[in-house]
Structure 1
């Protein structure tokens, strides 16, 4: 993904302190009563690529579980860059286990309870916390503080017991993207409030352009729209409390979110469940749509249009709630408690959090990420990435995205089908929210 780095501290420490898969592939449940949705053979810690050899207990080898398929593009290149740089620096072989993203997501719970790799790629937020609480992750508190990462990243790596279980390596914001050429051609300006956004959408429709490119075939992209509407209508604290299981989904606050979304649906492309996010991004690049609510990695699908892309933060809706909250998921590395080489794994993790390691990963890839370490070089960043860093740095509150800020089972088995049901039938909001609430109680217990 094209993910960007900050010029200084990502956000104030309080911004991520309250925050409880990847945006690029369909999230299925990682925990379904321990059931494996994918193939354990594909995700088993077997090493076996050109980055190293076997001998999981040897201090000269560390096993590395990667949620990217081999030769799959920039994300794979960055992970290989991490591994190769560590071997060159330390002399320790990195036995990398490259698995396609979807299989990794689907199989992670069984993987961690079996014979996992030592170090593996994972996410901040509730999803990290769940595995930490289940005893599947090793405490990494002795690696913190990490030079170049402030309190915001430390809080994002902290579980409910106050200990750290993650070493971040990148992040990326969600915002409203558009092409500068289309806006310049029509003398359009990014809207600064909700009414202006609706007026702009009306003008786009009048020109035969779908105001919002929109596709939810993969299940997770529409979560970004729910997140931002909830934060703009009910505020960050309510949003996080709702996803944490402490608010009712059939409340008037949640109904208002879906009502607002229903009013906006006519400005979105029709039949979103038949369109992938890549197809959606392509329609934006072609000028068939005017705007798209998405993550910065949108550029992965439309690399030829990357220089034409710009974005604005979703505007304010409720005048009493500042438009200073957004989703900016953080990716990182964790140490599996069942990994066979704990000491070697921790030494590898020490390296992975450094600016040196994150620079090496970017140097190995066709497209750079926004490094989590603020001391990493920005020389290869695009203007879009630099702007992303500034926007995230100025944010008052940061969320990790719906499927990272709530129970994994709830996100995948309740929210994905519920949002898709809403997109098919947006008029039964009472029935929708009642159903979500009933399922929420069965999962959270209240």
Structure 2
């Protein structure tokens, strides 16, 4: 299922959540009863962005307001910062969760389904405008759908066009060009790569792309599933390649958030940044100056046709009080109207999953993103979505951070990962 789900975009071109404290959950509001939708109905909507944090919060708030206006349903918004959402999702779903909440396609969606934490949405499918590939992305291991996609975005190497033009730099197409570009940047006093991993998850994207470039997509997905050895030569080779690239990155990444790293690129202190297109949220006026290229191939036998392109969307919590209202809202969230509400009410629009959504407001960056993802042969969802949640959070975050502190201890890091993988995957 993993391979087919992650080939979702081929051929496509444009076409919290509270947990940490009961006080956050209590602030959700909303009634415990009510009709499925319409006057008198109510639904609690949990989102993974804190109030006032920028375009991502604005999008989700606008989407919730649009549904309330269109359906007559009372929507109680519960906004929680992204990291708290990520770290507390299991506790949240096992407690008193909101009815509908933001989540992602991938292994962890399926894992929640297997554990009975999210609601079967099979009756809500098909959803007009979402094709078979997105239905596959919404499907868990039991063959049922538990997720409604709304958008997607690629991870790539971003840069400011004006900085490249000023210095006579062009996007590299080969590894030799890539290395020469980084050497030239350093020679001109520019740090090639902005880099921040204070939050733990951003550096996972670097591991993902290096592993897919060196060992291929199939190996990467098998590794995420626990079916390959973390202390084998393949993974050691990934860390060794990463070790050689670290001198081209900002130093002390564990003391820097991804937003702070993005600001460094925005100021021209760094030339590039490997991240998702949400990097634009941190760049303000420099967002229109942004362009990107996919990470070049490192092995000609592997190529460069795989990338991370996570799909965002929504699930209904099995422990939510208003199941019918939650399912009604979830189906609407997959519509073109929901995507348009998000795109029309934020400074940094996303790429809609629904092929009926308007593209009239799409920027050049959005158009290019859709084209690049559509041309990819294989799509991964990102490490913390493609593997076991405990493994991603309790093993890989500290292990990658340990590597970044001491990149010469590759044997120690990989041995530790494998030992812990044995206990989690069996």
- Please confirm whether the aligned pair reaches a TM-score higher than 0.5, indicating the same fold: yes
Residue by residue, what CA displacement relative to the aligned partner does 1:216-259 show, whole Å, maximum 9, x if unpaired? 12111111110000000000000010011111100110011011
1:4 equivalent in structure 2: none
Deviation of 1:37 (Å)? 7.3
2:273 equivalent in structure 1: 292
- The equivalences for 1:221-240 within 5 A come to 221-240=202-221
Deviation of 1:194 (Å)? 1.1
CA distance 1:395–1:203, change in 2 (3 Å) = same
Q: Which one of 382, 400, 414 corresponds to residue 395 of structure 2?
A: 414
The alignment status of 1:90 with 2:71, answered yes or no, reads yes
Deviation of 1:18 (Å)? 9.2
* Helix, strand or coil at the partner of 2:351: coil
The alignment status of 1:16 with 2:6, answered yes or no, reads yes
The alignment status of 1:347 with 2:324, answered yes or no, reads no
Q: Which one of 33, 49, 54 corresponds to residue 31 of structure 2?
A: 54
Q: Report which stretch shifted further, 221-230 or 151-160.
A: 151-160
Q: Report which stretch shifted further, 234-243 or 354-363.
A: 354-363
Q: Distance in 2 between matches of 1:195 and 1:268?
A: 18
Q: Which one of 24, 38, 47 corresponds to residue 20 of structure 2?
A: 38
* Unpaired stretches in structure 1, ≥5 consecutive residues: 1-12, 20-26, 31-35
Q: Report which stretch shifted further, 369-378 or 318-327.
A: 369-378
Q: Distance in 2 between matches of 1:106 and 1:362?
A: 28
Query: Does the 8 Å contact 2:19/2:85 carry over to 1?
Result: no
Q: Which one of 275, 282, 290 corresponds to residue 301 of structure 1?
A: 282
The CA RMSD over aligned residues, in Å, is: 2.0
* Unpaired stretches in structure 2, ≥5 consecutive residues: 10-15
The alignment status of 1:372 with 2:353, answered yes or no, reads yes
Q: Distance in 1 between matches of 2:195 and 2:88?
A: 29
Q: Distance in 2 between matches of 1:114 and 1:353?
A: 26
The alignment status of 1:63 with 2:40, answered yes or no, reads no
Q: Which runs of 4+ in 1 moved over 3 A?
A: 55-59
2:13 equivalent in structure 1: none
Query: Does the 8 Å contact 2:96/2:319 carry over to 1?
Result: yes
The alignment status of 1:435 with 2:416, answered yes or no, reads yes
Q: Which one of 225, 235, 244 corresponds to residue 263 of structure 1?
A: 244
The alignment status of 1:178 with 2:178, answered yes or no, reads no
Q: Report which stretch shifted further, 275-284 or 224-233.
A: 275-284
Residue by residue, what CA displacement relative to the aligned partner does 1:186-243 show, whole Å, maximum 9, x if unpaired? 2211111112101111111111111111121211111111000000000000001001
Residue by residue, what CA displacement relative to the aligned partner does 1:142-161 show, whole Å, maximum 9, x if unpaired? 22222222222112111111
User: TM-score scaled to structure 2, two decimals?
Assistant: 0.93
Deviation of 1:322 (Å)? 2.0
Deviation of 1:17 (Å)? 5.8
Residue by residue, what CA displacement relative to the aligned partner does 1:252-278 show, whole Å, maximum 9, x if unpaired? 100110111111111112221122211
Q: Which one of 228, 232, 239 corresponds to residue 247 of structure 1?
A: 228
Q: Distance in 2 between matches of 1:274 and 1:76?
A: 25
Query: Does the 8 Å contact 2:32/2:321 carry over to 1?
Result: no
Query: Does the 8 Å contact 2:32/2:322 carry over to 1?
Result: no
2:141 equivalent in structure 1: 160
Deviation of 1:318 (Å)? 0.6
Deviation of 1:40 (Å)? 3.2
* Helix, strand or coil at the partner of 1:291: strand
2:195 equivalent in structure 1: 214
Query: Does the 8 Å contact 2:231/2:415 carry over to 1?
Result: yes
Q: Which one of 369, 392, 400 corresponds to residue 388 of structure 1?
A: 369
Query: Does the 8 Å contact 1:315/1:323 carry over to 2?
Result: yes
Query: Does the 8 Å contact 1:221/1:277 carry over to 2?
Result: yes
* Helix, strand or coil at the partner of 1:65: strand
Q: Distance in 2 between matches of 1:54 and 1:102?
A: 27
Q: Distance in 1 between matches of 2:7 and 2:285?
A: 37
Deviation of 1:377 (Å)? 1.0
Deviation of 1:68 (Å)? 2.1
CA distance 1:102–1:266, change in 2 (3 Å) = closer
User: TM-score scaled to structure 1, two decimals?
Assistant: 0.88
* Helix, strand or coil at the partner of 2:203: helix
